Amino acid sequence: MPTHDGDLDLSLLTLLEAGEAYGLELAKALRELTSGDLDLNAGTLYPALHRLEARGWLQSDTRPSVRGGHPLRYYRLTDAGQGALDAKREAYRRWHQGLTARWGSR
């Protein structure tokens, strides 16, 4: 599980950089990419997506499900979201570089 919102934001924005996706699709991708270590429940995932959308980093629209059933909300990265992702990546790079310089790669 991410340690704070910043980790989750970075994860979701990174996934959406590749293209739009709906919530459960994002949760499944994170679960698969982390071999099950990051298994988001709806109570964590959807508030995070709504928060990112409120910041203007994501846009969404609702579409009918191709399988029948409930409509799906698809999320996509905005230009502001790409800028936020770039800044978060740079901050992570600096953080990692600082840790490695101080503690090595033990």
The pLDDT value given to residue 105: 63
Q: Decide if 40 contacts 30 (C-beta within 8 A).
A: yes
DSSP for 77-106, written as a single string: E-HHHHHHHHHHHHHHHHHHHHHHHHHTT-
Range of the domain at 72: 5-103
Q: What is the CATH number for 71?
A: 1.10.10.10
3 state SS of 21: strand
Task: Give the pLDDT confidence of 22-79 residue by residue, as tens digits.
Answer: 999 999 999 999 999 889 999 999 999 999 999 999 999 999 988 888 999 999 999 9
Q: How many domains does the chain have?
A: 1
